[in-house]
């Protein structure tokens, strides 16, 4: 078994040949996608929606290919999951090898090395120089749920605080933790209690310094909850669904300092911002933040379902044996994929690639901002960059959200072979979350499409 952890001697899977270029050969969606969509509509719940009814057959690097042969530049990476690139050969090889060795035993019955190796890698790469431990689970929401469980157990306290514009998942507890009710919570109550929403730092809108915004957040926590009842504060260092909101300098360290002084567990939800996306393994590092617990998911296993809670050993060990776990949590195939992801980040120098992508994207979007006055703000770090669109003439005054422009650009771009995601509480943010395999040439090509889409508004 040990040699399966060394990807250097793994059989390199033959990746499907997908040229790294945009190519549209039918209407979008094409006839085969339309036929599949008709089948899907009959049997898949309407509660599961798809942004673009284009059915994907193959993918590699930064390109996805649909069933009609159209090739799209993927600037969403499955919402930041295929961060190291689609069907990356070392991940595919690790999955194939592990699938042939063992698919499942259940770590809580008979354990295996791959789970331990992922926990070692997480301990090594999450911020902070202290003993750390992990629990592996299946999804981001499950990691959030476990982070809260662990913090409550450790502190013996009840309340959970989150920040405005945050997103944490679709389970019962996490629905209560999201800022946005529609579509995530509408009609699904009653919700978990003891969840409190504090104001965040949103420099484009609040104009506050980090210290001012932190004072506002802390005043809320102290007045509305009281520090002695607060188990944890759950924060996305860069808010994902909220629209890549980067907090003002000093905001997060001030919150952490207050949490530490008051025995509150500081939990960084790095599910979208983590795993090399921002040029650091975890975005917390950009802010000098050393969370007590870090939540990972999305990019952690190159496309396989895996998530983790990692943090201070004394907090992680407060739970009684049997209190944490689950049937599929830390599945061996997902863990083998994750080990390959960590190795790929190192061997391909992907932290530097994230910096390159951030510089290229930011420069391109700032250029567009000079041409189009509806681009109110360009922000983000590394391969996590967004632009917030506002109504004409309001970019420096009232900053009225312009969701219609965002939807129109995303739709036009898709027709031209560029997949971009929307975000933001008001749906007025276009977010770029490409894989770290995307070249500057592909970004430049995608930006000409975005430019045309802006011009066509
Ligand atoms: C996606 C996401 C989640 C939820 O993850 P799932 O795997 O969809 O349950 C939680 N927090 C953040 C910041 C996310 O981006």
Q: Is 377 exposed, middle or buried (0-12, 13-18, 19+ CB in 10 A)?
A: buried
User: Quick one: 181 and 281 in the same domain?
Assistant: yes
383 in the same domain as 293: no
C-alpha of residue 168 to centroid of ligand 1, in Å: 5
Most informative mutation of 144, 171, 298 for ligand 1 (most atoms within 8 A of CB):
298
Question: How far apart, in Å, are the Cα atoms of 64 and each of 51, 86, 248, 412, 419?
Answer: 15, 8, 36, 17, 9
Residues 337 and 364 in one domain: no
Ligand 1, residue 297: give the atom nearest the CA. 7
For residues 299-323, give the mean pLDDT. Answer: 98
Q: Are residues 342 and 362 in the same domain?
A: no
| 11 has a pLDDT exceeding 70 | no
CA of 140 to the centre of ligand 1 (A): 4
Q: Which residues, at least 6 apart from 181, have a Cβ–Cβ distance to it below 8 Å?
A: none
Q: Say what the pLDDT of residue 7 is.
A: 38
The torsion defined by the Cα of 2, 5, 9 and 13, in degrees rounded to 10, comes to 130
Q: Tokens 């090594």 belong to which residue? A: 124
Q: Is the CB of 277 under 6 A from ligand 1?
A: no
What are the pLDDT digits (tens) for 325-342?
Answer: 999 999 999 999 999 999
Ligand 1 nearest atom to the CA of residue 307, by list position: 7
Specify the 3-state DSSP secondary structure of 426.
coil
Rounded distance between C-alpha atoms, residue 368 and residue 361, angstroms: 11
Looking at the structure, tell me whether residues 264 and 369 fall in a common domain. no
- How many residues are listed for the chain in this entry? 457
Cα 353 to chain centroid distance, Å, stands at 17
* Segment 140-153 mean pLDDT: 98
CB of 270 shorter than 6 A to ligand 1: no
Q: What is the pLDDT of residues 198-254, one digit of tens each?
A: 999 999 999 999 999 999 999 999 999 999 999 999 999 999 999 999 999 999 999
The domain that holds 175 is classified in CATH as 3.40.640.10
* pLDDT of 8 higher than 90: no
Å from CA of 272 to ligand 1 middle: 7
The total of structural domains in the chain comes to 2
Q: Whose CA is nearest to atom 10 of ligand 1?
A: 168
Residue 272 Cβ < 6 Å to ligand 1:
yes
Determine the Cα–Cα distance for residues 258 and 253; give it in Å rounded to an integer: 9
Domain range enclosing 437? 31-74+349-456
- Residue 427, domain CATH: 3.90.1150.10
Residue 253 covered by a domain: yes
Q: Are residues 397 and 448 in the same domain?
A: yes
- Least Cα distance to 266 among 165, 179, 154, 178 occurs for 154
21 backbone dihedrals φ, ψ, rounded to 5°: -155, 155
- Pocket flag, ligand 1, residue 169 (CB < 6 Å): yes
Q: Is ligand 1 within 6 A of the CB of residue 141?
A: yes
In this structure, the answer to whether residues 194 and 237 fall within a common structural domain is yes
Report the separation in Å between the CA atom of 169 and the middle of ligand 1, taken as the mean of its atom positions. 5
Whether 11 maps to a domain, the answer reads no
Using the predicted structure, report yes or no on whether residue 321 has a pLDDT greater than 70: yes
Which of 322, 347, 372 delimits the end of a domain? 347
| C-beta of 301 in contact with ligand 1 (< 6 A) | no
C-alpha distance across the termini of the chain, in Å: 57
**Is 21 within the bounds of a domain?**
no
Kindly state if the Cβ of 421 falls inside 6 Å of ligand 1. no
* Domain's final residue, options 292, 313, 347: 347
Same domain, 397 and 322: no
Work out the mean pLDDT of the chain and round it to a whole number.
96
Q: How far apart are CA 380 and CA 5, in angstroms?
A: 34
* Beta carbon of 283 within 6 Å of any ligand 1 atom: no
Q: Is residue 98 located within the same domain as residue 64? A: no
Q: Where are the alpha helices (DSSP H) in 113-272?
A: 113-125, 140-155, 172-177, 203-206, 210-220, 251-261
- The reported pTM is 0.96
63-66: strand order across its sheet = 56-60, 63-66, 71-74, 418-419
Task: Evaluate: CB of 231 within 6 angstroms of ligand 1.
Answer: no
Determine contact, residues 64/72, Cβ cutoff 8 Å: yes
For 105, the 3-state DSSP assignment is coil
**Average pLDDT, stretch 420-436?**
97
Q: Whose CA is nearest to atom 5 of ligand 1?
A: 140
Q: Using a 6 Å cutoff on CB, does residue 145 contact ligand 1?
A: no
301 CA from centroid of ligand 1 (Å): 14
Atom number, ligand 1, closest to the C-alpha of residue 144? 10
Report the percent of the chain where pLDDT is more than 70: 96
Residue 182 lies in a domain: yes
Percent of the chain residues past pLDDT 90, beyond the cut: 96
Q: Strands (DSSP E) along 334-433, which ranges?
A: 375-381, 384-389, 418-419, 421-423, 429-432
Ligand 1 centroid–CA 304 distance in Å is 14
- Cα dihedral 328→333→336→338 (10° resolution): -60
The CA-atom distances, in angstroms, between 437 and each of 190, 383, 432 are 43, 10, 14
Residue 234 lies in a domain: yes
User: How many helices and strands in the chain, by DSSP H and E?
Assistant: 14, 15
145 C-alpha to center of ligand 1: Å?
A: 11
Which residue carries 């994907």 as its tokens?
56
In a domain, 122, yes or no: yes
Tell me: do 304 and 372 sit in the same domain: no
Exposed, middle or buried, 193 (CB in 10 Å: 0-12/13-18/19+)? exposed
Rg (CA), the chain: 22
Which pLDDT value is given to residue 46? 97
Atom of ligand 1 nearest to the CA of 298: 7
Verify that 98 and 229 share a domain, yes or no: yes
User: 443 and 381, same structural domain?
Assistant: yes
Reading the block at residue 293, the tokens are 């617990």
Encoding tokens for residue 9? Answer: 């001697």
Is residue 85 domain-resident?
A: no
Q: For residue 18, report the distance from its CA to the centre of ligand 1, in Å.
A: 29
| Domain assignment of residue 26, yes or no | no
Mutate to test the pocket of ligand 1, among 169, 234, 241, 422 (most ligand atoms within 8 A of CB): 169
End position of a domain, from candidates 347, 376, 403: 347
Is-contact 81 303, C-beta < 8 A?
Answer: yes
């Amino acid at each position: 078994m040990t040699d399966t952890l060394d990807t250097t001697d793994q059989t390199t899977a033959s990746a499907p040949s997908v040229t790294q270029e945009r190519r549209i050969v039918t209407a979008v969606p094409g006839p085969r996608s339309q036929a599949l969509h008709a089948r899907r509509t009959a049997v898949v719940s309407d509660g599961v929606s798809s942004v673009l009814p284009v059915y994907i057959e193959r993918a590699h690097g930064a390109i996805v290919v649909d069933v009609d042969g159209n090739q799209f530049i993927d600037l969403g990476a499955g919402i930041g999951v295929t961060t190291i690139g689609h069907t990356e050969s070392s991940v595919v090889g690790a999955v194939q090898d592990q699938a042939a060795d063992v698919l499942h035993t259940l770590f809580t019955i008979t354990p295996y090395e791959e789970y331990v190796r992922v926990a070692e890698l997480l301990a090594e790469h999450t911020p902070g120089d202290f003993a750390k431990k992990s629990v592996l689970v299946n999804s981001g929401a499950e990691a959030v749920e476990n982070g809260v469980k662990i913090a409550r157990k450790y502190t013996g306290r009840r309340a959970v605080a989150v920040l405005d514009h945050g997103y944490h998942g679709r389970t019962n507890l996490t629905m209560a933790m999201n800022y946005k009710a529609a579509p995530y919570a509408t009609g699904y109550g009653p919700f978990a209690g003891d969840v409190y929403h504090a104001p965040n730092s949103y420099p484009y809108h609040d104009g506050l310094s980090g210290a001012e915004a932190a004072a506002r957040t802390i005043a809320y926590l102290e007045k509305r909850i009281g520090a002695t009842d607060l188990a944890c504060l759950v924060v996305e260092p860069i808010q994902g669904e909220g629209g890549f909101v980067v907090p003002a300098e000093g905001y997060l360290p001030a919150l952490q300092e207050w949490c530490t002084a008051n025995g509150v567990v500081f939990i960084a939800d790095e599910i979208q911002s983590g795993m090399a996306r921002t040029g650091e393994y975890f975005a917390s590092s950009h802010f000098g933040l050393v969370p007590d617990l870090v939540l990972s998911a999305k990019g952690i296993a190159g496309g396989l379902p895996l998530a983790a809670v990692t943090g201070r050993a004394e907090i992680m060990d407060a739970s009684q044996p049997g209190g944490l776990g689950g049937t599929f949590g830390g599945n061996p195939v997902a863990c083998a994929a994750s080990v390959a992801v960590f190795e790929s980040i190192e061997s391909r120098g992907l932290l530097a690639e994230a910096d390159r992508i951030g510089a290229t994207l930011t420069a391109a979007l700032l250029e567009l901002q000079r041409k189009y006055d509806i681009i109110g703000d360009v922000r983000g770090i590394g391969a996590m960059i967004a632009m917030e669109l506002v109504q004409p003439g309001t970019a420096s005054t009232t900053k009225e959200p312009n969701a219609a422009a965002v939807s129109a650009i995303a739709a036009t771009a898709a027709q031209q072979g560029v997949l971009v995601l929307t975000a933001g509480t008001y749906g007025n943010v276009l977010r770029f979350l490409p894989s770290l395999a995307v070249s500057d040439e592909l970004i430049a090509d995608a930006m000409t499409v975005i430019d045309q889409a802006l011009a066509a508004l």
